[in-house]
Amino acid sequence: MESIAPLWLWVVFFVSVVVALVVDFVVMRHQGAHAVGVREALRWSVVWVALSLAFNALFWWALQGTHGPEVANTRALEFLTGYLIEKSLAVDNIFVFLMIFSYFAVPPAFQKRVLMIGIVGAIVLRTVMILIGAWLVAEFHWLLYVFGAFLVITGIKMWRHAGEAPDMESNPALKLLRRVLPVSRSLDGEKFFTVENGKRIATPLLLVVALVGITDVIFAVDSIPAIFAITTDPFIVLTSNVFAILGLRAMYFLLAAAAEKFHLLGYGLAVILTFIGTKMLLIDVFKIPVLVSLAVVAAILAVTMVWSLKTAPKLGKGQGSS
């Protein structure tokens, strides 16, 4: 499981992530429970994207000095493509998170803490999954074909079910959690446990945290193989994935306000998964250049977002008249 990144860059990455999380926790604690507005979400989104691009620039600089500009350009493009793919697939996560918060009637002021805990859990979990996945791919090359087929099938299924709201009542994870944990009928601020009839029981907010974590595990099964289609270097796979996750909370509040306007993004994500799966299946026959992959993913996202914005008012008008 070799990587092109020098050891000092691994150290810089881990230190950067820890510092970013600490700063985020300090800011969150200082602000207290409050609803995150669009402006605040936009500012934080810009900060996280800028931090990711700055790290990619440092990565390019490190490789340019040791391996030359051609290798540096290729690897930096791989990071950027992986980052964009993870950001794209995170949109589907966000819509499911929005459904979970709506189902449990979690006020916007309490959502921030839940998402922060979910992000920390996602970083730890995905780090383990990526390192194991990188080792498996290095040892068993044929697994790339399995990942590719899985992504194509997932893309087709996602296309079929795009636009459908998840049925929370029939969610097996929610049913299991309710059987295991006694849960209070109402929230108790940001607390995960409360006392009811003299007994200490969980609040619905704890179920929300658990469901957010389970949702991320499910989506990680899609997103991690997708980045392996771009590169098998564990450093690039891990860093592009983690930096995309760091901005997930700000991205959630940014998109939550305009979720209905991007109603066609599910179809775009389905096409992206199918394209990446096909790329992985053809890896030993024809290797699609990283720049082409980046352009295709960006184009699909742009088309579906623009088309969503154009058709959303028409759908709203039609629904209002029916």
Q: What is the pLDDT at residue 77?
A: 93
Higher pLDDT, residue 88 or 236: 236
Q: Across all residues in the chain, what is the average pLDDT? A: 81
Q: Which amino acid is at 216?
A: D
pLDDT surpassing 80 at residue 86: yes
Q: Where are the alpha helices (DSSP H) in 67-141?
A: 69-103, 108-139
- Amino acid making up residue 12: V
**193, β-bridge pairs:** 202
The residues that bridge with 200 in the sheet, in sequence order, are: 195
Do residues 133 and 225 lie in contact, with contact meaning Cβ atoms separated by under 8 Å? yes
Question: Residues 200, 201, 207, CA angle at the centre, nearest 5°?
Answer: 150
Residue 311: is its pLDDT beyond 60?
yes
Q: What is the DSSP string of 136-188?
A: HHHH-TTHHHHHHHHHHHHHHHHHHHTTPPP-GGG-HHHHHHHHHS-B-SS--
Distance CA 96, CA 269 (A): 14
pTM of the model: 0.76
Where residue 253 falls among pLDDT bands split at 50, 70, 90? confident
pLDDT tens-digit readout, 213-245? 877 777 777 677 888 888 888 999 999 989 988
> Rounded to the nearest 5°, which phi and psi values hold at 186?
-135, 165
Q: Is pLDDT at 108 greater than 90 in this prediction?
A: no
Higher model confidence: residue 162 or residue 273?
A: 273
What does the pLDDT read at residue 246? 86
**Coil, strand, or helix at residue 248?**
helix
Judged by phi (left if over 0) then psi (alpha if -120 to 50, else beta), residue 173 lies in: alpha
Contact 28, 104 (CB under 8 A): no
3-state helix, strand, coil in the chain (%, to 5): 80, 5, 20
Residue 259 confidence class, pLDDT cut points 50, 70, 90: low
User: Looking at residues 81-110, what average pLDDT do you find?
Assistant: 80
User: How many residues are there in the chain?
Assistant: 322
Pairwise pLDDT comparison (73 vs 227), residue with the higher score: 73
Note whether 88 and 226 are within 8 A (CB): no
Single-letter amino acid, residue 106: V
- Please list, in sequence order, all residues whose beta carbon lies within 8 angstroms of the beta carbon of residue 260, skipping any fewer than 6 positions away: 312, 316
Of 81-95, 195-209, 215-229, the poorest mean pLDDT is in: 215-229
pLDDT of residue 322: 37
Provide the residue type at 245 as one letter: I
Q: Does the pLDDT at position 79 exceed 90?
A: yes
